[in-house]
């Protein structure tokens, strides 16, 4: 949106009236809302019940009153898909929930997802002007989730309007957030859109990675269903580059291809004992449990190892999800081993807080260097190097430095390695002519998302090498705008 469009909406009489109705001082006096949550004791007994229960209508309307409706809304600069935040928040303040979700859906195709999993404290909320006034930021994420849930639960989900068909066909490789955001915009522009997904379920990490206690599958499915109603064709169990080649996609009549194949390749530390039974990647662990139902009772055939003393290596969202899942799988102790300090943890602040409440033991400033095995070849101990913080590194965070000669050995009969992921190599190694970086990501124009093969655009983790849902969606939207421009000129 242009500055003028944002301003025009802000100048509408109903917005001026709301501003006059309550002074900034009174708005500042309202405490930030606390979202109701299941108790830690209860929630570690359930995989599918969401920890955070959502805001009531009254809570949402009161929280919306905290927003000052700034002349220059800095929060919008922190949102990678450019949601008109003050407009949707002010609709909630007025009780106009349908208008609120319409505003969000103009630029975001997955509001119920983003409202739950975006690291808002680093994005929109991190830019809220109230922080400069020593007040807590407006709970923008909670309000976004409220608007999306209200619409879904009312059973009246709106299907965004699409332009008449323009006769052109495009396809998407991968059904994660980048692919879904791309598909949503292209179908609106009038293209025929097919999404190919290698797995048997649509949704990418939203389904196979993020557990249901944080993001229920029914919520993801409802948003995918809206895309289906808009006309997007989803084809599961198709590995592009293996089942169908680049050339065959052209024979099928696709004029453009968007690659959103993610970063699903696990990374390991290459330390002694890492090949032992009972050491596995977080991808494998979470996919078995989230997607295949392993260990979740009758009706699921997929096995998964259970541990009494589980060690999780890493400090990101994947590590938090693995640790909290292990707790729900009945582990007696779950120790999260992270080589930097608590302040450096890259996971969302809320997930860290919830993990601590659930009894995860945070063993920070430690790094695994070796695993010992028992007589059956199963891991039984983790040897940890004690670390300290040194000078800041390229990421700006203080780098972890080993404390010479200081180690600690802890019991571990299951180790989950969640130290990061690498780009999925199938498209980079099967589409000829792509420029591939040293890290294995597809190189694209920063603004255009166009690759060295002109009809192939890419975005999300396959380009960034592991980022966030909303950055992936932002890429998908930029790629759609630029592919539309490119194909319109052809």
Helix axes 317-328, 349-357, angle to 10 degrees: 20
Which one of 61-69, 203-211, 285-293, 480-488 is the stretch in contact with ligand SF4 (CB under 6 A)? 61-69
Give CA–CA dist 59/63, Å, rounded. 6
Which residues 140-159 are close enough to bind ligand SF4 by CB under 6 A?
140
Give CA–CA dist 268/287, Å, rounded. 17
Which residues 86-105 are close enough to bind ligand SF4 by CB under 6 A?
86
* 176, interface contact from ligand FAD, ligand SF4, none, CB < 5-8 Å by kind: ligand FAD
CB of 124 to ligand SF4, least distance (A): 7
Which residues 317-376 are close enough to bind ligand SF4 by CB under 6 A?
none
* 68, interface contact from ligand SF4, ligand FAD, none, CB < 5-8 Å by kind: ligand SF4
Phi, psi of 145 (to 5 degrees): -60, -45
Q: Which CB contacts under 8 angstroms, 24+ apart, belong to 164-169?
A: 164/190, 165/190, 165/191, 165/192, 166/190, 166/191, 168/192, 168/255, 168/256, 168/487, 169/193, 169/194, 169/252, 169/253, 169/254, 169/255
Contact present, 443 and 449 (Cβ < 8 Å): no
Query: Among 74, 245, 399, 422, which residue sits at the site for ligand SF4 (rule: CB under 6 A)?
Result: 74
Q: Closer to ligand FAD at the Cβ: 78 or 273?
A: 78
Q: Closer to ligand SF4 at the Cβ: 128 or 193?
A: 128
CB of 34 to ligand SF4, least distance (A): 18
Q: Closer to ligand FAD at the Cβ: 137 or 449?
A: 449
Which one of 4-12, 66-74, 167-175, 349-357 is the stretch in contact with ligand SF4 (CB under 6 A)? 66-74
CB of 33 to ligand SF4, least distance (A): 13
DSSP 314-334: --SHHHHHHHHHHHHTT-SEE
69 binds ligand SF4 per the rule CB under 6 A: yes
> What residue spans of 133-258 are helical by DSSP H?
140-153, 177-189, 205-208, 217-230, 246-251
67 binds ligand SF4 per the rule CB under 6 A: yes
The closest of 137, 426, 10, 105 to 259, measured between CA atoms, is 426
Interface with ligand FAD by CB under 6 A: which residues? 117-119, 173-179, 196-199, 204-205, 209-210, 238-241, 260-262, 264, 286, 317-318, 321, 348, 424, 426-427, 460-462, 467-470, 472
Tell me 442's DSSP state: B
* 70, interface contact from ligand SF4, ligand FAD, none, CB < 5-8 Å by kind: ligand SF4
DSSP helix, strand, coil percent of the chain (3-state; round to 5): 40, 20, 45
Binding-site ranges for ligand SF4 (CB under 6 A): 67-70, 73-75, 85-86, 128-130, 138, 140
């Amino acid at each position: 949106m242009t500055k003028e469009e944002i301003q025009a909406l802000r100048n509408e009489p109903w917005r001026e009236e709301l501003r006059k109705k309550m002074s900034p001082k009174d708005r500042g006096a309202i405490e930030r809302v606390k979202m109701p949550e299941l108790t830690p004791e209860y929630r570690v007994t359930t995989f599918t019940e969401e920890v955070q229960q959502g805001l009531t209508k009254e809570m949402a309307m009161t929280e919306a009153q905290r927003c000052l409706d700034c002349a220059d809304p800095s929060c919008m600069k922190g949102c990678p898909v450019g949601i008109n935040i003050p407009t949707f928040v002010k609709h909630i303040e007025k009780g106009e929930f349908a208008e609120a979700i319409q505003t969000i859906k103009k630029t975001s195709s997955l509001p119920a997802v983003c409202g739950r999993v975006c690291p808002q404290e680093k994005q929109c909320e991190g830019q809220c002007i109230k922080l400069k006034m020593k007040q807590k930021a407006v709970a923008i994420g909670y309000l976004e989730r409220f608007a999306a849930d209200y619409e879904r639960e009312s059973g009246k989900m709106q299907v965004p309007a699409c332009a008449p068909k323009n006769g052109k066909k495009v396809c998407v490789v991968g059904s994660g957030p980048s692919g879904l955001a791309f598909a949503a915009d292209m179908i609106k522009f009038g293209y025929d859109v097919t999404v190919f997904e290698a797995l048997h379920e649509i949704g990418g990490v939203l389904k196979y990675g993020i557990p249901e206690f944080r993001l229920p599958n029914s919520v993801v499915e409802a948003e995918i269903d809206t895309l289906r109603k808009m006309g997007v064709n989803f084809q599961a169990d198709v590995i592009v580059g293996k089942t169908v080649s680049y050339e065959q996609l052209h024979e099928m009549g696709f004029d453009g291809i968007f690659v959103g194949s993610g970063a699903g390749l696990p990374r390991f530390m290459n330390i002694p004992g890492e090949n032992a039974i009972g050491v596995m990647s977080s991808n494998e662990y979470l996919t078995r449990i989230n997607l295949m139902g392993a260990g979740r009772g009758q009706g699921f055939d997929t096995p998964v190892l259970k541990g009494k003393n589980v060690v999780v290596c890493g400090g990101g969202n994947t590590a938090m999800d693995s640790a909290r899942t292990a707790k729900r799988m009945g582990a007696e102790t779950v120790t999260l081993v992270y080589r930097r300090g608590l302040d450096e943890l890259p996971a969302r602040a809320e997930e860290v807080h919830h993990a601590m409440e659930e009894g995860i033991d945070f063993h920070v400033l430690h790094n695994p260097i070796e695993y010992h095995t028992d007589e059956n070849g199963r891991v039984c101990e983790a040897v940890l190097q004690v670390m300290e913080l040194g000078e800041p590194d390229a990421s700006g965070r203080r780098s972890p430095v080993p404390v010479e000669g200081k180690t600690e050995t802890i019991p571990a009969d299951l180790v989950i390695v969640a130290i990061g992921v690498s780009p999925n190599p199938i498209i980079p190694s099967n589409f000829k002519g792509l420029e591939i970086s040293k890290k294995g990501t597809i190189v694209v124009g920063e603004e255009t998302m166009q690759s060295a093969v002109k009809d192939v655009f890419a975005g999300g983790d396959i380009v960034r090498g592991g980022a966030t849902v909303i950055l992936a969606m932002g890429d998908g939207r930029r790629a759609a705008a630029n592919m539309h421009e490119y194909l319109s000129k052809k």
